[in-house]
Each structure stands twice: as structure tokens, then as C-alpha cells.
Structure 1
Amino acid sequence: MKIAFVVGYFPVLSETFILNQIIGAIDRGHEVEIYAYQPANTSKVHPNVKKYQLMNRTFYQPHIPPNHFSRLSKAIKLLINNFHKNPLVLLRSLNFFKYGRWAASLRLFYSVIPLLESKSYDIIHCQFGTFAREAMIWRDIGAIKGKLITSFRGYDITWFVHENGEQIYDELFKKGDFFLANCKYFQKKAIQLGCDEQKIVVHGSGIDCSQFQFKLRLPPGANEKIYVTTTCRLIEKKGIEYSIRAVAEVIKSYPNIEYNIIGDGYLQVELQQLIEKLNVAGQIKLLGWRNQPEIIEILDKSHIFIAPSVTTRDGNQDAPVNTLKEAMAMGLPVISTLHGGIPELVENGISGFLVPERDVDAIAEKLTYLIKHPEMWSKMGQAGRAYVEAHYDINKLNDELIQIYQRVSSHNLPLLEPALAETRRLNSQGY
């Protein structure tokens, strides 16, 4: 099959779930191309970006100048240089009567520049519903051909709907060929918004379990540190303020704690100020972003993992986050929140603990309990590893994704849900 992946910035270190699907399709012999808005910071990239030479498969839209005059001037040059390639598509992209501000702002025009060579695919897989709305128009104006599959992953089915209204996906639900939600929680939200329940299945984000070696977590010696870790972007949704406050409270009784927070984001300065205000800068550290081998090295020496996600003021929510899966795969007991799709991943009291959002005292209480009861670490770690292997192994999920592509491409949707159910049953039994 020939598959197009429609993404945002690419490559992005924090979006290994997209990278895993791309290389999974390539490994299974399919032809893949990637459409992205702009390159992300390429100073640190996942090793597979280079291994699979993904930049050679990626097509970027021209940069859109923020200044309106510069944007128009650049658009005129692009029109002159590219008009001979596909005049109809270029002219249709300027139809502001039909496409409103999308066309009037020239955003649609800029976005079709990489698509002027009559692009045709078996599957167009849009990562996030926000990108699917644009790809739907590309298909309408003849810039791209293929079955349109949309993945709902988090902000696109929570914050974006909150900001733009519950009708924002009405047209996409009518024109899209199939939909994937990365947890039951978001599948239910999509159906409530109007998605045909026969056209959407749950397909989780996977991790390569072979890259995250399991290790029994044993208590440190009397004078050794207890390492607590979080991996996430430093944004409101990740709730890092609350884990910092909770760990700072526990440090009063257990000063041998070291809490390492891996990631960056717009809250970095604010969180560093909080750490200094609480006088715990020697024990709570913002490490910045790290590539996957560096993250694995830090997790390997850790004892407990915290993921304190919260629902933001504008409604943004998380699915079962991949950083939690990675920590669980490596045998770490986890503390997370009753939030979004996370309860579908963490079994409360079995692989970790779930506490209410923004509850500093509850996080501190569970962290203290785990420190007092290190015999729980190995039990929870083993349970977490088993659950992630059974439900989120990328190889099983990529096999499932190709099966979805094939059935959508061949219009064989009525049998899709039963077929996936049988595949998952066999996978859970180790076949």
C-alpha cells in the first residue's frame, strides 16, 4: 500500500507514537510519505529518523510569513512558479467563498504547494483531528486522493472542541472514511460529538517494549538516594506543579529523595521558580529534554514514576500517555491521576496508584506509602510490564493498524471490529 501520514511539526521527540507507526508501516513493506507543516528542532532527533532516512520522505509546506503583505508577495511568487504543475488545485485553494478564512488567509494555498504532483494514496492517515480537517479539503479540491483515516489523540478531541464548538468535526465525520481513538474515553467523546460508532475503533499508541528493559526495583541502601522521575512536556496539562509540591512535602521526612523531571515547555521558568521558592533545588531538578537513550538511562536507575496529568482550564486532557507506558514497561511503580484515558492504563493498586487531579496531599500520601513499602515496587512493576506488553506493544499494534488500513482500503468495514477483537484475543494469549 501507499500511505501518506499528515502530521504537524516533524520530527518531534515527544511524538514517538507517530514515529512508531511510520516506521512500522515501512518495516511491513509499505510505501510511506509524510506531510508536515514545518521542521521541528532537529538538533536532537530519535535515532530512527536517521536510520530510516525519514527526512527524505517528508514534504513541508512553505513557511507562511506572519506579515500580510509579505505573505501575499510570497504567495504571488509561489503561484507564478507552480501554476503550471496543477492550476486547478491552486485556483480552488483560493476559493474564499467556499473555504472562508482558510482560503482568504492563504493558509490553504500554502498547504497545497507540496501536493501539486497529483498525489494518490491508498490511505491518508491524519495524526490528530485538527490536521484531518485540512486534509479533507485537500481531497475535496483534488490535491490528494485516498481513504481518509483520522486519529484522535487528546487535545484535538478535548481542547480543540472546547475552543471551537461541538460542531467543529461535523463535516469530517460525514466525509472521513474511518476514525481511530487512542483510548475508550476519547472514542466515547467522538461518538457523542456525532461520529458513527461503526466507523471508529480504539487503537492505542504503542511503544517498542524491547527498547525498555524490565528490571525489578529494589530499595536503595541506607545512605543511597530514592530516585523519582517524571517525563513530560512542561505544560499545564501535565500537572507538574502538583508533583513538585507533593515531593517537596515528602522530602521533609525523606531528604534522600531526588526528583528528576525530564522535558521542556513554556512553564519551565515558572516551575524552576517554584522549586527555588520551596527550597528544594538540590533535590528536585528540571533536566530539560532528553533523547530516548538518555531517558532510558535515567529511568533505569529510578525507583518510582509520577505522571500527575490534569484537565486544563480550557478542557485539554490526556490519553494513556506513552511516558507512563515506558516507565511501566521498565518495571517502575507509578503514581498518576484519575484523568482522561489514564485509568485504562494504570490499574489502581495493582500497577500503581491513581489519585484525584491537583491533589498534592494524595500524591504525597501515595509516594510516602511506596517509600515505606518497597516490597510493593517489584509486584507493581511486574504487573505494569505485563499490562503494557499485552495491550500496548508497538509490534502488535502496528500489525493491527495495517489490518485496519487494508480493510478500509478495500471497503471491508463491517468485519473490521470482529477481526480486531480476534486479533487482540490472540495477542493477549501470546500468539
Structure 2
Amino acid sequence: MSETFVNDLVRGLSDRVESLSVVTNDVVGKSPGPTPVKEVPFLALRSIADRLRYRVAEFFGRNRRQHQLLMRHANRQLRPVLGRIDPDVAYIDFGRAAVAARAPLQALEIPFAVHFHGADVTSHLSDPAYRTALHKVFRDADALVVASHHIRRLLVLEGAPPEKIRVVRLGVNLEGVEPLSWEKRKETGPSIVFLGRMVPKKHPIALVEAFRLVKEEVPQATLTLIGDGPERNRVSRRISRHELQDHVTMTGALPRQEALSIVRKHWVYAQHSVTTRSGDQEGFGISLSEAAMLELPVVSTLHDGIPEQVEDGETGYLVREHDFEAMGKRLVSLLQAPGTVRHKGKNSRRKIESKVRLKERSLEIKSTLDVIKEKK
């Protein structure tokens, strides 16, 4: 429930369906308004006996046995709860949750749709038991929802029936945060901003290296990093190594509205997304769409669905993964041309707005669920 897009979808659907319940493995942060949220720990073993059996299976490399223990636990946790709720249709975020929920949903004859986001069709596929179970999800799900055509292709290549797949972008909810006028933004001087978790697939180190090159050409430039995560200490050390402390601000994680209020004050949004060594990829980088809606040009990478959000040369620029030198050059070209920043920022909002309006995206999801319900 900590994922922004999950909360936004819950809020969007709550106004459009007769009754909505949320079942989540754990509750992190605030619940999405008045919608009832049931915390059901179905993704992690709870009993000491099961955990011991899992460790023994892990020691002996029995992947299938580990998976069986997890699925049995998920069924015990979910079936009684789903039975009491008795939904017309279930909507599942993430492939791992779908693998865990498939059997109890099938037993209760509850039709379901699954929304895939990135790791669930990339790095998670290295788990043989998960991959096998995922094909059962493909078979039994009534619809497979994705936020980009790139993920649609990954699903088809993995064996998902193309006719079940529907592309629905993630909606952007700015909720009281409007674009700042260019005249106001220009007063702050050349500036770059990033918003997101500091994790390997967003490669914040590459962004810092790109900014180091920017500083050589645009000495007054600044960089703001909004977010937290396992890469934060490495990022901090890299900033110190290049003596950029006076030019880079690290805010840590912030409430969404506060973060977007900072984003809108900058000239350019930058994010260096990459495929990690484990194969993990971005799904749909919602921060890029938020920045575009706030009229910032975006400099990012040719990664996953990002080319479906950023039009190279029109609304920003795209570079190859890990090519921080090219990213630095593109950032310099923008920061040295304020008129271009303004023009591409306006283009960003105009091009992305129709794709990510939250109301329309919620209606698309509701339409998908209505079709499933009618079929059953």
C-alpha cells in the first residue's frame, strides 16, 4: 500500500464502484481514504514450523518445496478472508501476489485481473517455481493489465495470451500541485531534480556522474535528489568525492505533495533508469509523468516504457543506459538554453496529459473489471 499508484487507483475506483475492499500483505503509511483495508500477511511465512521447513528446503536447494510452503500459507491466509468479502471480481497488483492468490480465488470461483509492473516479469523470472506458477496465472486470469507496451511485449514473450493483455497507463494525481510559471522557475537558476527511491534500477550514481560533467559547463547549476533507499549512502559518498556538497541537495523521502512542490521549482527532471544485473527493470516511471505534468522537460534513458513517456527531442532527451556522459551533455544543452527548457516543458505536459489523467485511467480499469464481471 506504500506504492503511490496503488493508493491512487484505490481512490479512483472507490468513487466508481458500488463496494470496494482492499486486502494487502501489510499496511505501510496512510490508508487510501474511507476504503476498508484488511491486512492479511499472505506473502511471508508466520509459523515457526513453516519457517523451519522453508530453511531446510532452502539449504537442500528444493525450490519447489519452498514454493509449496509459501502457496499453502497464502491459501490458509487468503481463502477465509476472500470468502467473507465474496467479491464479484478481484484486481491484483503485482505478479507475486497473483501467484499467491490464484488458488484461493480459483477455489472460490472469483474471476480476477492482474496488473504487472516490472520486476514481476523481469528479475523474478529467475525463480523457477515462480516462473512455472506465473504461467498458471496467465492461463486462469481473465485480464492482464500493463502500463507500457514494453511490459506487454515481455508478457507475450513469456507466454501470456496477447488477447488477454490490456495497456492502461498509471494515472497521475497532482492533487493541488500546479505547474509553477516559467518566470518563477527561471529565478532559481539552472537546476535539475530527481524524485524516486534510490535503488539500483534508478541508478542515482549515474545521475551524480552526469551532474559532475554538467558543473564543468554550467558552474551555477544545482541538483536536488528527493528520495531514500539502499543506494543513498553510496550516492552521498560519490557527491563528497567530487566535492559537490554545496551544489547537491539530498532531501530524503518526503510526503508526495511536498516532494512535487519541490519538483515544480526546477528547470529539468532527470532519471537514469537501467536494467540491473539481476534483470530488474522499471515498470512505468510515474515520477517522469509527474514531472512532465508540471511542465519540466525530462532527460532519461532508453529503458522499458520510458520512450512511451518521453519523446526524444520533443519533450526532453533519451540516452543509452549507463551513458552518463551523454546524459550530462543533454542536461548542459538544456540548462544553457532557457527558452528550450520552457518550450520542451510545455510540450511535456501537452504530450503526456491525455495518457495519464487519473480519472480516465480509473475508468479504464473499471471497464476492464466490468467486462470480466459480465462474462461470469
TM-score w.r.t. structure 2 length?
0.89
Aligned length: 362
- Partner of residue 126, structure 1: 92
Answer yes or no: is 1:262 the counterpart of 2:221. Answer: no
- Larger displacement relative to structure 2 (207-216 or 59-68): 59-68
- Partner of residue 53, structure 1: 34
- Partner of residue 386, structure 1: 350
- Matched residue SS, 1:213: coil
TM-aligned CA distance change 1:216 to 1:199, over 3 Å: same
CA–CA separation in structure 2 for the residues paired with 1:64 and 1:329: 38
Answer yes or no: is 1:25 the counterpart of 2:13. Answer: yes
- Matched residue SS, 1:122: coil
User: Do the aligned residues in 2 keep the contact of 1:247 with 1:364 (CA within 8 Å)?
Assistant: yes
In structure 1, what residue type is equivalent to 2:39? F
CA–CA separation in structure 1 for the residues paired with 2:373 and 2:116: 20
Report % sequence identity.
22
Match of 1:347 among 311, 315, 320: 311
- Partner of residue 193, structure 1: 158
- Matched residue SS, 1:30: coil
Greater length-normalized contact order (CA 8 Å, ≥ 6 residues apart): 2
- Matched residue SS, 2:170: coil
User: Do the aligned residues in 1 keep the contact of 2:113 with 2:145 (CA within 8 Å)?
Assistant: yes
- Partner of residue 171, structure 1: 136
CA–CA separation in structure 1 for the residues paired with 2:247 and 2:76: 48
- Matched residue SS, 2:87: strand
Listed one character per residue, the Cα deviations across residues 374-404 of structure 1 (whole Å, up to 9, x for unaligned) are 1111211111111221111111111111111
- Output aligned runs, 1:231-270, within 5 Å: 231-270=195-234
- Matched residue SS, 1:204: coil
Listed one character per residue, the Cα deviations across residues 194-249 of structure 1 (whole Å, up to 9, x for unaligned) are 1111111111111125644234435735xx53221000111000011111011022
- Output aligned runs, 1:393-412, within 5 Å: 393-411=357-375
User: Do the aligned residues in 2 keep the contact of 1:148 with 1:177 (CA within 8 Å)?
Assistant: yes
User: Do the aligned residues in 1 keep the contact of 2:43 with 2:100 (CA within 8 Å)?
Assistant: no
In structure 2, what residue type is equivalent to 1:161? L
Answer yes or no: is 1:332 the counterpart of 2:296. Answer: yes
Match of 2:104 among 134, 138, 144: 138
TM-aligned CA distance change 1:183 to 1:65, over 3 Å: closer
CA–CA separation in structure 2 for the residues paired with 1:104 and 1:131: 15
* C-alpha deviation, 1:172, in angstroms: 1.1
CA–CA separation in structure 2 for the residues paired with 1:176 and 1:202: 15
In structure 1, what residue type is equivalent to 2:40? Y
* C-alpha deviation, 1:103, in angstroms: 4.5
- Partner of residue 427, structure 1: none
User: Do the aligned residues in 2 keep the contact of 1:302 with 1:332 (CA within 8 Å)?
Assistant: yes
- Matched residue SS, 2:329: helix
* C-alpha deviation, 1:26, in angstroms: 0.7
CA–CA separation in structure 1 for the residues paired with 2:280 and 2:43: 27
CA–CA separation in structure 1 for the residues paired with 2:331 and 2:282: 22
Q: Point out where structure 1 has 5 or more consecutive residues left out of the alignment.
A: 1-9, 73-98, 413-431
Q: CA RMSD in A?
A: 2.4
Listed one character per residue, the Cα deviations across residues 303-353 of structure 1 (whole Å, up to 9, x for unaligned) are 111011001111111133110001000000110100011001100001100
Answer yes or no: is 1:36 the counterpart of 2:24. Answer: yes
Listed one character per residue, the Cα deviations across residues 133-178 of structure 1 (whole Å, up to 9, x for unaligned) are 1110222444xx4211001111111111244485452111111111
User: Do the aligned residues in 2 keep the contact of 1:208 with 1:395 (CA within 8 Å)?
Assistant: no
CA–CA separation in structure 1 for the residues paired with 2:106 and 2:67: 14
* C-alpha deviation, 1:112, in angstroms: 2.8
- Partner of residue 6, structure 1: none
In structure 1, what residue type is equivalent to 2:200? E
CA–CA separation in structure 2 for the residues paired with 1:146 and 1:262: 41
CA–CA separation in structure 2 for the residues paired with 1:235 and 1:206: 23
TM-aligned CA distance change 1:233 to 1:385, over 3 Å: same
- Partner of residue 239, structure 2: 275
- Matched residue SS, 2:245: coil
- Matched residue SS, 2:22: strand
* C-alpha deviation, 1:285, in angstroms: 2.3
User: Do the aligned residues in 2 keep the contact of 1:37 with 1:60 (CA within 8 Å)?
Assistant: yes
* C-alpha deviation, 1:268, in angstroms: 1.1
CA–CA separation in structure 2 for the residues paired with 1:291 and 1:159: 29
CA–CA separation in structure 2 for the residues paired with 1:21 and 1:383: 26
* C-alpha deviation, 1:297, in angstroms: 1.5
- Partner of residue 422, structure 1: none
TM-aligned CA distance change 1:174 to 1:70, over 3 Å: closer
CA–CA separation in structure 1 for the residues paired with 2:127 and 2:231: 21
Listed one character per residue, the Cα deviations across residues 274-304 of structure 1 (whole Å, up to 9, x for unaligned) are 1111111121122111111211210121111
Q: Point out where structure 2 has 5 or more consecutive residues left out of the alignment.
A: 53-63
- Partner of residue 206, structure 1: 171
